[in-house]
Amino acid sequence: MSALTTTTYLAAEDDGFHAPSLADFFPPAILFEDTIFEFNRVNLVQLIMTIAVAAFFIVAFRNPKVVPRGMQNLGELAVNFVQTQIIDTIMGVGGRRYLPYLVTLFFFILAMNIAGVIPFLNLAGTSVVAIPMMFAIVTWVVFNAAGIRKHGFGSYLRLNLFPPGVPKPIYVLLTPIEFLSTFILRPVTLTIRLLANMMAGHLMLVLFFSGATYLLLDAEWLLKPFGLGAAAMGFFITAFEILVAVLQAYIFTLLTALYIAGAESESH
């Protein structure tokens, strides 16, 4: 029997340890319970991080100087990162007209993700489906609008659904696949990728830290050494979650840039 299994078994007997579950993502209401305006801990985290991101950029650029310093330096570094590492690399200089959206996308998702390892918040705002789905839908609208504006509605559909150079009989199989891939699956995969990573990270953190707390404070003395291992794993997962938070924001923004560039491309 593993240490974790033993811990869970013993905890079940004395009600001292509870493994994390999906219930963590549905906390009780803080305000307006059982109404469409219900406000819970997840919403509070989302609100705090939204205000934090907005405040950062407002302070950074409220009075810009030719020679930046202080917060303006950080703000320009943030914007330049998205511009040089995503837009210029994927879309070229012409893609800079999408800079406001892509900067907002990257740093809003990053802030929501990083909330999962911030003390007293400890829950990513992207660990419930609403935020990932919202940005996936907005991205879907943006890249399709970009393609329609560039090619016109009919030509855009034709380029995506009937790629040139393909034998006509193949369209019977290819067109439904292209339709599903471009217009249905893209927002779904964007949503699921971000949501699943943030949910998994939260569950792992809760599992190791709550397990460590129980083992060190309440378990039999033979099990206490396993608490140190659980705590060490908790700190390792925390560092890993910071990396995942940045990586998932980057991947989401990078794919958005790729979808926009593909929509505006003359060939598909």
> What pLDDT was estimated at residue 213?
80
Residues ≥6 apart with Cβ < 8 Å to 61: 72, 75
Identify whether 21 is part of a domain. Answer: no
Tell me how many domains the chain contains: 1
């794993």: which residue's tokens? 233
Q: Are 216 and 224 in contact (CB under 8 A)?
A: yes
Distance CA 88, CA 85 (A): 7
Cα distances (Å, whole numbers) of residue 14 to 8, 38, 100: 10, 34, 54
Identify whether 166 is part of a domain. Answer: yes
Identify whether 17 is part of a domain. Answer: no
Distance CA 60, CA 55 (A): 8
Identify whether 248 is part of a domain. Answer: yes
In which element (H, E) is residue 242 found?
helix 224-264
Q: What is the tens place of the pLDDT at every residue in 88-119?
A: 999 988 889 999 999 999 999 999 999 989 98
> What pLDDT was estimated at residue 2?
38
Distance CA 27, CA 42 (A): 7
Rg (CA), the chain: 23
Q: What is the tens place of the pLDDT at every residue in 147-169?
A: 999 999 999 988 888 887 778 88
Map residue 61 onto helix, strand or coil.
helix
Distance CA 247, CA 265 (A): 26
Identify whether 98 is part of a domain. Answer: yes
Domain of residue 218 covers 33-264
Map residue 207 onto helix, strand or coil.
helix
Helix boundaries (H) for the chain: 3-14, 41-61, 71-82, 88-90, 99-114, 130-151, 153-161, 171-179, 186-217, 224-264
Cα distances (Å, whole numbers) of residue 143 to 85, 258, 263: 19, 9, 6
pLDDT, one tens digit for every residue, the chain (268 residues) = 333 434 443 444 445 566 676 777 888 888 888 888 889 889 999 999 999 999 999 998 888 887 777 888 889 999 999 999 999 999 988 889 999 999 999 999 999 999 989 988 888 999 999 999 999 999 999 999 999 999 999 999 888 888 877 788 888 888 899 899 889 999 999 999 999 999 888 888 888 888 788 777 776 777 777 778 888 888 898 899 999 999 999 999 999 999 999 898 876 5
Evaluated on CA atoms 248, 111, 207, 44, the torsion sign reads: negative
Q: Are 103 and 79 in contact (CB under 8 A)?
A: yes
Identify whether 22 is part of a domain. Answer: no
Cα distances (Å, whole numbers) of residue 233 to 56, 165, 226, 237, 243: 32, 53, 11, 6, 15
AA identity, residue 248: Q
Identify whether 123 is part of a domain. Answer: yes
- What is the C-alpha end-to-end distance of the chain, expressed in Å? 54
> What pLDDT was estimated at residue 219?
67
Identify whether 48 is part of a domain. Answer: yes
